[in-house]
Amino acid sequence: MDLGLNDKIALVTGAAGGIGSAIARGLCEEGCKTIFVDIDTDGLKRATRGYKPSAIEEICDITNRKKVKDLFKRIMIKFGTLHILVNCAAVNSAEYIEEIQDEILQKIFDVNITGYIYPTIYAIPLMKKAGYGRLIYINSNSGLKASAGLPLYSGSKYFNRGFAISAALELGKYGITSNSICPSDVYPEGEIEAKSWKNESLLKISFEKEGVSSLKELIKKRNSKNPMKRSCTVDDIKNIALFLASEKAGFINGQSIGVNGGTIPY
């Protein structure tokens, strides 16, 4: 299927690895000129290897409004427009409510909330000018059904869903759609690190909740409860993102799309 993405200009945050890298590379493969955005210089070099000149590296702290504004000024100068924004950069945290510390509270707010808001603010004028826009927010199953032990992470993902829906209601008349992709857990696979699963607190709380003692046991137990008997993969998420970015998805707007094999069937 021709998705009609050839020569579109796309930007993906959190593109140095994992889901963000997979989506950004997929956009390049579909013919987009894709701006890979991250603060990880070495990760960006790895992510863009073999994808240039379609892949453009941009170091940017998305929690800093001035730096994001300057990034979009450079995009305007170089390309004159932007068609697709994939907000993917995020951090995970796991703690019970009584254990919340100011440092992690601020980090979640900075990356998972303001880090989604700032790129959206500066993408909108460029999309309006183009008469075409796709705002895609990489969310989580925890944004569809909150999880015990993940109050900050779940809360930030619920916020992002609401923000994406508001954007859909505001911007549809300009030919701009806004949707959230809400995948279930993605575990390490191949060259995909799935950095969240290096978080000791997340592992500890997940093991406690499932009554297991290793990541291997956790994956096996959760997969056994999934109707599809497997985990979500980066390709599952990438494929949905590419479709939402395309002309084919022009009437899909304001949706929170679960990619979870049916564990949350709505």
Q: Which residues are catalytic?
A: 153
Exposure string (b/e) for 242-265, b if CB count within 10 Å is 16 or more?
bebbbeebeeebbbbbbbbbebee
**Residues 249, 167: Cα–Cα separation, whole Å:** 16
Q: Give the start-end residues of each E strand in 105-220.
A: 133-138, 176-183
CA distances for 86 relative to 117, 190, 225, angstroms: 12, 23, 30
Using the 8-state DSSP alphabet, how is residue 185 labeled? -
Would you say the C-alpha torsion 12, 154, 113, 167 has a positive or negative sign?
positive
Question: Helix axis angle, 151-171 relative to 115-130, nearest 10°?
Answer: 20
What count of Cα atoms within 13 Å lies in the side-chain half-sphere of residue 175?
Answer: 15
Long-range pairs for 249-255 at CB < 8 Å and ≥24 separation? 249/134, 249/177, 249/179, 250/175, 250/177, 252/177, 252/179, 253/168, 253/172, 253/177, 253/178, 253/179, 254/164, 254/165, 254/168, 254/169, 254/172, 254/177, 254/178, 254/179, 255/168, 255/179, 255/180
